[in-house]
Amino acid sequence: MRRRSPRRLLGVLASAAVALTLLSSAPTAGAAEAARPAEAAPAARSAGTAAAPLSTSTPVVFVHGYTGNASNWVTAMSVFQLNGWSSSKLFAYEYDSYGNNVSNAQGLASFVNNVKSRTGASKVAIVNHSMGGLVSQYYLKVLGGNTSVSHLASIAGANHGTTFASACLIYTTCQQMYPGSSFISQITAGDETPGDTRYATWYSACDGVIIPYTSTRLSGATNNNVLCQTHIGFLADTVVLGQIARFVAS
């Protein structure tokens, strides 16, 4: 794989951010056509329709990916509200993409505790994307956060690393995200889905950023193979996001 300079990578990511903005403001029909129902997931329904009453009292914490931020979850939060969540139960955690994922996971632990305190809930659900998978897995497995998490949904998570991270190895987070890193070894050794938390992943061969794309899969989770969706496209895919909302409500 040809190495790209960090400056070029940031340009690519900036373009991806623009693409995400366009996707978020575009009609959702295109996203629904692009992504077929995932394997082992419920049959596709509209984002705002469910076959059975949903349990929507659990607060949901969204964890973005590398260079992401809370705005990545605008579409997801809309889908969750259509499925019965109130906006007061939806939270986006932001962290330093260029720092250290150990610190980012510790920050997530504090954020979850604050959400629990604010809402009175004993547990939260976590929905992550890309490098957010590493932050979440470290929190649940190494820091014992699984006792505070009812459901974990990983969307194109870099759970076993991605060779794409070779383009930004000047940053600790990217070193940790590269396959075979000590960080990856720590979160994948032994049980990948610890505790009573329910785990599910969504991944696609068309991802283009998580390489290999099967890196997202977690042993012991419900792993959903989406026919064809891009890494950024997942964030605007109302079909997949609707499936995730129903998973969290189950």
The whole-angstrom separation of Cα 132 and Cα 126 is 10
Residues designated as active site: 130, 207, 231
Q: Which residues make Cβ contacts (< 8 Å) with residue 250, sequence separation at least 6?
A: 55, 151, 198
- 168-199: string of b/e by CB count within 10 Å (b at 16+)? beebbbbbbbbbebebbeebbeeebbbbebbb
- What is the torsional sign of CA 78, 80, 86, 89? negative
